[in-house]
Amino acid sequence: MYLPKGAETWTPCTIGRASASISCAIFTPSARAASGEDTAAIRAMVSSGMKEAGYQYIVIDDCWQVSRDKDGNIQPDSKTFPNGIKTVADYVHSKGLKFGIYSDAGAKTCAGRPGSRGYEFQDARQYAVWGVDYLKYDWCSTTTQDGPSSYSIMREALNASGRPIVLSICEWGTNKPWLWAKSIGGNLWRTTGDIQDRWGGKQKWPDGSCCALGMTDIVDLQVGLESFAGPGHWNDPDMLEVGNGGMTNTEYRSHFSLWAMLAAPLMAGNDLGKMSPEIKEILTNKEVIAIDQDPLGMAGRRVIKDGDLEVWSRPLKDGSRAVILFNRGAEEREIAVQWADLGYPPHLAAQIRDLWQHKDLGRVSGKFSARVASHDVVMVKVAP
């Protein structure tokens, strides 16, 4: 299974994971899609070039469900989805895309809607009837539940549904899912708490619990997890914040580059219908996306850290390396990487391709160096 790429609806919801006050405004497949009309997000996924760049999934996050009927069947919000979820899924499929949905391993979702605890097999059968391709499965209201057991039950339920459904495990790294999620059939698993749209810094949730994380905080927490990722089972550092306004375009370019280096799922969390040309260029950079989707499936790792200066490297199937020179500092700096840091002999000559400038930089031996602006990256492919 290649890495999932798509768009999620979560960002426009104002919500803290443990917040008692919820304001959900789902902006993707809505009542207009249910009545057969084109919605902005689905139309934008196609017209913006996102689909052509390889993005496949439209995923509805929390707040689509309101109750269960007398037989225990999960019920969607009739105001948002007047013709039901299947009509929305059919519409998404008609555009050549795949459809994802959200639930929770506890009794209630993070927004206080009905969770799947005790209804796993019933919900999975319903998802299959609706045509769901992807399930994001959260971890709120789980009290004393065991993580591996809870997710294993849902994986078994999805398998029994008769429809292939990707299982996205979203328990924020609480139970170290990288140690067990592959063995129970998880396809991807969150490694950290929720991302927020800023360069760095932790912020507590409204109830005082810790914490929502900035982009660089999440990057730091990926160090040492690279060996757990591989084809069909991926570390998930959370969705992309590219285009949501909390960082500069330079910082968004770094964000996107690092997610590709990490072999992370690329789930866009911005409003696709209102992207600037600069944000579209970031999200649809096919050379960077090709690194993320490289079929070898090995995640990149940090090979050099010198204060604010870092080098990340990722082996690719053709024997080349993706390399990021990353400057966290406030001033432009020169960053160098030696071939030995990439696992190459010093005498080797290699072609350098800049993946953001879309330009060949020539053949070099022994090392590569470049000036890197503040909070920016230079991302290259090094090909012997």
pLDDT in tens, 236-271: 999 999 999 999 999 999 999 999 999 999 999 998
The catalytic residue positions are 138, 194
Q: Are residues 305 and 190 in the same domain?
A: no
Q: Which residue has the tokens 């029994």?
A: 160
pTM for the model: 0.92
Mean pLDDT of the chain: 90
Q: Are residues 252 and 378 in the same domain?
A: no
Q: Which residues pair with 183 in a beta bridge?
A: none
What percentage of the chain reaches a pLDDT higher than 90? 83
* Residues contacting 203, CB < 8 A, separation 6+: 196, 211, 212
| Calculated CA dihedral for residues 84, 86, 92, 94, nearest 10 degrees | -120
Q: Which among 262, 292, 322 is the end of a domain?
A: 292
Higher pLDDT, 331 or 20: 331
Q: Which residue has the tokens 């690719």?
A: 316
Q: Which among 238, 261, 292 is the end of a domain?
A: 292
Distance (Å, whole) CA 181 – CA 169: 8
Q: Are residues 284 and 344 in the same domain?
A: no
Structure tokens at 352: 């350098």
Structure tokens at 357: 């400038």
Tell me the three state secondary structure of residue 234. strand
CB-facing half-sphere around the CA of 163: CA atoms within 13 A: 21
Q: Which among 251, 268, 292 is the end of a domain?
A: 292
Q: Are residues 54 and 149 in the same domain?
A: yes
Q: Are residues 19 and 132 in the same domain?
A: yes
Structure tokens at 298: 């090995």
Q: Are 368 and 336 in contact (CB under 8 A)?
A: yes
Q: Are residues 263 and 206 in the same domain?
A: yes
Domain with 123 in it: 5-292
Q: How many domains does the chain have?
A: 2
Q: Which residue has the tokens 């990439």?
A: 342
Beta strands 309-315 and 333-338 are unpaired
Report long-range pairs for 301-307 (Cβ below 8 Å, ≥24 apart): 301/223, 301/226, 302/223, 303/337, 303/341, 303/342, 304/337, 304/341
Distance (Å, whole) CA 282 – CA 147: 36
Tell me the three state secondary structure of residue 109. coil
Q: Are residues 320 and 248 in the same domain?
A: no
Q: What is the CATH number of the domain that holds 364?
A: 2.60.40.1180
What confidence tens digit (pLDDT) does each residue in 297-356 have? 999 999 999 999 999 999 999 999 999 999 999 999 999 999 999 999 999 999 999 999
**pLDDT score, position 7:** 64
**pLDDT score, position 375:** 98
Tell me the three state secondary structure of residue 378. strand
| DSSP letter, residue 367 | E
| CA angle centred on 265, ends 21 and 115, rounded to 5° | 35
| Calculated CA dihedral for residues 249, 254, 256, 260, nearest 10 degrees | 160
Q: Are residues 48 and 153 in the same domain?
A: yes
Q: Which residue has the tokens 């992807």?
A: 134
* Residues contacting 181, CB < 8 A, separation 6+: 148, 151, 169, 189, 233
Distance (Å, whole) CA 169 – CA 102: 11
Residue 36 has pLDDT above 70, yes or no: no
What confidence tens digit (pLDDT) does each residue in 176-197 have? 999 999 999 999 999 999 999 9
Buried b (16+ CB within 10 A) or exposed e, 331-352: eebebebebeebebeeeeebeb
Q: Are 236 and 172 in contact (CB under 8 A)?
A: no
